[in-house]
Amino acid sequence: MAAYIPSRGDIVHLQFDPASGQEMKGAHFGLVISQKAFNARGLAMICPISQGAAASARTHGTVVTLMGLGVDTQGAVHCHQIKSLDWALRKAKFKEKVTRDIVDDVAARVEAIIFE
């Protein structure tokens, strides 16, 4: 059986530590937004998912809710906390796949944060 390589749109569970300051800490679910070909090199671009308040992020439009979108994972994808993570070292475990619409919404918000 081939080893799992995360794909764009996968929700995975992994460790976000070490972290500091306002970064999300501990084990969380995350949405993979990078392509499998990139991820196969050992890193993946992942936005953490939280069920916490995140009032400031919600006010600034940097989160995408998963509530009512037909996925088992509930919470909000934090587009402003995207990280490049060594998914193998952090023992990423696949949970489920989201729709292309969710990935596109997250990608658009990340793009708005990074580019003018």
Q: Cα separation of 95 and 78, whole Å?
A: 18
Q: Where are the beta strands (DSSP E) in 16-81?
A: 27-32, 43-50, 63-65, 76-78
How much is the pLDDT for 54?
57
pLDDT digits (tens, 9 = 90+) for 36-55: 999 999 999 999 998 866 55
Give this prediction's pTM. 0.90
Give the chain's residues under pLDDT 70.
1-2, 52-59
How much is the pLDDT for 18?
80
Give the distance, in angstroms, between the CA of residue 95 and the centroid of all CA atoms in the same chain: 12
* Residues 30 and 43: beta-carbon distance below 8 Å: no
How much is the pLDDT for 24?
76
How much is the pLDDT for 1?
46
Return the domain boundaries, the chain: 10-114
Q: Cα separation of 61 and 77, whole Å?
A: 11
How much is the pLDDT for 53?
60
In this structure, which topology does domain 10-114 adopt according to CATH? SH3 type barrels. (2.30.30)
- The CA–CA distances, whole Å, from 16 to 20, 40, 92, 107, 114 equal 10, 19, 10, 20, 21
